[in-house]
Chains A and B, each alone.
Chain A
Amino acid sequence: MTGTALAALGAAAAALLAAGFALGRVTARRAAGSGPDPGTPVERATFHTLHTASLAAPPLRAGLTEDTARKAARPLRSLLGTRALCLTDRVTVLAWDGIGADHHRERVMHRVGDVLESGRSQSVRTGCDDPECPLRWAVIAPLTGEEGVLGTLVAYGPGESAVLVRAATEVARWVSVQLELAELDCSRTRLIEAEIRALRAQISPHFIFNSLAAIASFVRTDPERARELLLEFADFTRYSFRRHGDFTHLADELRCIEQYLALAGARFGDRLKVTLQIAPEVLPVALPFLCLQPLVENAVKHGMEDAGRVCRVSISARDAGSEAVVTIEDDGVGMDPAELRRILAREADHSSGIGLSNVDERLRQVYGDDHGLVIETGVGAGMKITVRIPKYRAGVHSQPGGS
């Protein structure tokens, strides 16, 4: 009995070992750790410097705040090899790493004023009253962004040293590059936000006109239906134009699609047939706001291009472990895959394209590159779009909708 139990323990241990080995391989590949050949001392020093710099890069890429400065200060100090290092913005000290924070910290802002004005590095005496304090000289180097000086980097040393001045200036320049990249990231985000606004604006002209015309045609023949359609229209626009929150629930997005289809149905009548298959488990999934409705709109457009034919659109959302898989399929005119590729790469100027490429980009931005749109199509073969939405992703949580 103990023998079999030991065998069980052995098997479990072997499985754990194998898992640990695989995990180690994966992380090793990712970290690109030191190989078998450590290289010459100079090479090793270079590797060490590059590694230290790479540790400071990720926090700086998020911009210059107290939190990121605190995380970046330690690797930057070990990069310079000084006893103390300080990062400031234009008004206050963001982070202090090393010794002497007790009596030097409050004086820093008096000394960096000139550098903030001029944007040039300076080497100054600290004028410390404590004779034991090794921080006698400070090198102050500016951190610049696109709009001038953002802050300073202050490195302390025991004496005046040209090497420290040079090194601190170079490190400050490197930090400035990272901060510019952070600004670039930020402006890219702003561009996408602007596109979402454009997407909301894009809904209006055609769709509003067509919907109102369709509703008008019911006003006399079927006033009750006209009233319902107007209410749908009101709800739809309220959802589409809502100002707050980047994320929504799948249930809310489906409600928006329902309103859209009700209005489209009023216009196209029996020519539009919709099939739904929704697993109730995935309705609470959070996803980027307005990322499915444009796909449905696209499907309806494709289906209706060939006038006089019945168009079938089917929408399904199913549960797949830690993901929800949404597919939107139509049997319309389809599209040439090469053309589609150009639309997604934003090379073609296509009227319906901006919806697709915008959705694709937002999905990739939020969930990573392996969660973009998967589109299967051909000329005359309809189109099938598949979206895989993770049930949880850090930072993705929906705010309650207006509906």
Chain B
Amino acid sequence: MNQTYAVAAVACVVLATVLIGALGLRISRTTSDFYVASRTVNPGLNAAAISGEYLSAASFLGIAGLVLLQGPDMLWYPVGYTAGYLVLLVLVAAPLRRSGAYTLSDFAEARLESPAVRRLASLFVVGVGWLYLLPQLQGAGLTLEILTGAPDWFGGVLVAVVVTGAVAAGGMRSITFVQAFQYWLKLTALLVPALFLLAAWAGDDAPRARFDAPAVLRQHTEVRVDDTVRIDLDAPLSVAVAGTVDGIRHEGRQTTLEEGTHRVESGTTLTFPPGADIPERASTGADPAGWSQPLAGGGDGYQLYATYGLILATFLGTMGLPHVAVRFYTSPNGRAARRTTLVVLGLIGAFYLLPPVYGALGRIYAPELALTGDADAAVLVLPERMVGGLTGDLLGALLAGGAFAAFLSTASGLTISVAGVLTQDVLPSRGVRHFRLATVLAMAVPLAVSLVAADVPVADAVGLAFAVSASSFCPLLVLGIWWRRLTPPGAAAGLVTGGGTALTAVMATRAGLAPEGWPHTLMAWPAVWSVPLGFLTMILVSLVTPRHTPPGAAAILTRLHLPEDLAARPPCEGARR
């Protein structure tokens, strides 16, 4: 792959982001024309901004990687990521906007009139934000490593530095324009190469991707294994090995590996003849590639359960993502918020048609990625593999730029919302300087963790953030908006039980502490039990503490549900501030 083009593309994306962020406002709004200056953000622009912020590395790289690894069952991921907005549209969007809340902790305070619940909600906002930032940074590391051969920590640090710098310096003033630009950039970056790749695929007599059998290599392929892996063979396999397999050193001679499990040490190069089956990577509990295994294969029970876990987490988790919630504040009223969500559904739906195409093509043209564990790179290597030449390089560069836009936009949106919550609820006093400090803190923690933690497929890692969000904020938002008897103790108990257990399960899985078998599956896909647990705790505790129902609950629910211009004017409360 031509590094110069890729580096130039990434640099262009970074530069364009910073420039639009800093100057976009100046160009578009410096005028003495009030009419132009005081026009609110229209639903189309806001929807593009929400989509730009939402479509992260998990969508841009991760889904294609998972489809390559596990096949069409993984299409639940894009379906879930999109359908989350349907739930958001129906249940939450307009009332959340009418509550006047900026962050989710603001909503908790507005609805329950309790500073304690607010602080608790803030902890979860920060937790979910960090869980979500982590895969962004790791994905950036992977992308730069593949494009330029830089060490794998470099990409993460680069994204962290650019985002922290831009946000802390106040450079993200016109964040809406930046994010909307990122959406269209990402869509273009995925759409244009996809057209070229499909043309190349059609020119190649349109071979079918095989998901039910091991993938077959189409040409003579060298695979370098960077991490030690165990492979399962169903039939003897003849390969040339340079390195160590099963503890025996080979020096590039042709060897036949027998049926069964083999251990391939890191640094080994396997050379496959054309037409060879790519061996399956053996799964273990601690092995990241084995994570979504239950979803694709394994026992029937596991598969069904994991699919439901994924569906629940993504359908219900979207509403609780910190960077999504804050964007609704930009809508002028509840109606506009609802319209915005509708447009988001369209934009995101259109985008998600593309990654599965890359996944299927990757299964045909780059199946060895399944063995090395770099399946997330499928999107990036395909142009070189299928088109080649200058065109391939340019398309690869476009994809690299798009992938970087994905890291930058999601990371900056998350950083801003996490930093906002940190300044408001964690740091002792407020002010512009503290916002900068909070920005650094918001990015430093996930960066530090990303440098030491093991790589996990990005789509899976993002799924964990969704699970925590679905178990904590979904009950809070849905019950807060639709159930007048919710009390602060109930909300607090539900947040701690639902969100807390999900968080614990997720952290334990990431640390590799979960035992094999059902416990592992239960902990890796906690949403199935933790979401009902959160709802149930919130309802039961609220029912036994009816005395704590906030006094203004009826007035707040009225405000949440009536259109702004119909809402009754509340009586002036003189004695209160």
A residues near B (Cβ < 8 Å) are 1-2, 4-9, 11-12, 15, 19, 22-23, 26, 62-63, 67, 182, 185-186, 189-190, 193, 244-246, 249, 251, 254-255, 257-258, 261, 273-281, 283-284, 286, 318-322, 325, 365-366, 370, 391-392, 394-400
Q: Give the Cβ gap from B363 to chain A, nearest Cβ, in Å.
A: 26
B16 within 8 A of A: no
Known: A8-B449, A19-B426, A322-B420. Is A392-B106 also a contact (CB below 8 A)?
yes
From B174, B424, B430, B449, contact of A279 by CB (8 A) = B174
Q: Give the Cβ gap from A399 to chain B, nearest Cβ, in Å.
A: 6
From B33, B416, B452, contact of A321 by CB (8 A) = B416
CB contact list, B287-329 vs A, under 8 A:
287-288, 329
Q: How many residues of B contact A (CB 8 A)?
A: 70
Q: Give the Cβ gap from B273 to chain A, nearest Cβ, in Å.
A: 31
Query: Do A67 and B551 have beta carbons less than 8 Å apart?
Result: yes
12 pairs across A/B with beta carbons < 8 Å? Answer: A1-B288, A8-B452, A9-B507, A12-B507, A258-B34, A276-B29, A277-B26, A284-B330, A318-B170, A319-B175, A322-B102, A400-B565
Q: Give the Cβ gap from A372 to chain B, nearest Cβ, in Å.
A: 13
B384 within 8 A of A: no
Query: Do B34 and A392 have beta carbons less than 8 Å apart?
Result: no
Query: Do A185 and B575 have beta carbons less than 8 Å apart?
Result: yes
Q: Give the Cβ gap from B478 to chain A, nearest Cβ, in Å.
A: 20
Query: Do B510 and A284 have beta carbons less than 8 Å apart?
Result: no
**What are the residues of chain A within 8 A of B570 when measuring CB–CB?**
399
B59 within 8 A of A: no
B512 within 8 A of A: yes
Name which residue of chain A comes closest to B134, CB basis: A8
Query: Do B32 and A23 have beta carbons less than 8 Å apart?
Result: no
Number of A-B residue pairs, CB cutoff 8 Å, is 169
Q: Lowest 10 CB-CB distances: which A-B pairs, in order?
A: A8-B453, A322-B420, A258-B34, A391-B102, A392-B106, A9-B511, A392-B102, A2-B512, A278-B37, A321-B420
Known: A8-B511, A283-B332. Is A276-B103 also a contact (CB below 8 A)?
no
Bound complex: CA of A15 vs CA of B442, how far in Å? Answer: 12
B567 within 8 A of A: yes
**What are the residues of chain A within 8 A of B41 when measuring CB–CB?**
280-281, 283
Query: Do B173 and A279 have beta carbons less than 8 Å apart?
Result: yes
Q: Is the interface of B mostly helix, strand, loop or mixed?
A: loop
Known: A15-B445, A275-B32, A320-B435. Is A280-B510 also a contact (CB below 8 A)?
no
Bound complex: CA of A391 vs CA of B565, how far in Å? Answer: 21
**What are the residues of chain B within 8 A of A278 when measuring CB–CB?**
29, 37-38
Bound complex: CA of A185 vs CA of B333, how far in Å? Answer: 34
Bound complex: CA of A245 vs CA of B428, how far in Å? Answer: 32
Query: Do B575 and A277 have beta carbons less than 8 Å apart?
Result: no
Name which residue of chain A comes closest to B331, CB basis: A284
**What are the residues of chain A within 8 A of B432 when measuring CB–CB?**
320, 325
Known: A19-B426, A251-B332. Is A280-B574 also a contact (CB below 8 A)?
no
**What are the residues of chain A within 8 A of B576 when measuring CB–CB?**
62, 395
Name which residue of chain A comes closest to B24, CB basis: A279
Query: Do B38 and A251 have beta carbons less than 8 Å apart?
Result: yes
Q: Give the Cβ gap from B472 to chain A, nearest Cβ, in Å.
A: 16
Bound complex: CA of A370 vs CA of B423, how far in Å? Answer: 14
Starting from the known contacts A8-B510, A283-B41, 9 additional A-B residue pairs (CB-CB under 8 Å) come to A5-B510, A12-B507, A62-B576, A244-B572, A257-B34, A277-B26, A392-B102, A392-B106, A400-B564
Query: Do B511 and A255 have beta carbons less than 8 Å apart?
Result: no
**What are the residues of chain B within 8 A of A275 when measuring CB–CB?**
30-32
Query: Do A392 and B575 have beta carbons less than 8 Å apart?
Result: no
From B176, B428, B448, contact of A280 by CB (8 A) = B176
**What are the residues of chain A within 8 A of B453 when measuring CB–CB?**
4-5, 7-8
Name which residue of chain A comes closest to B174, CB basis: A279
Q: Give the Cβ gap from A57 to chain B, nearest Cβ, in Å.
A: 16
Q: Give the Cβ gap from B561 to chain A, nearest Cβ, in Å.
A: 14
Bound complex: CA of A245 vs CA of B573, how far in Å? Answer: 10
Bound complex: CA of A2 vs CA of B564, how far in Å? Answer: 54
From A193, A249, A322, A370, contact of B429 by CB (8 A) = A370
Query: Do B419 and A321 have beta carbons less than 8 Å apart?
Result: yes
Bound complex: CA of A244 vs CA of B435, how far in Å? Answer: 35
B253 within 8 A of A: no
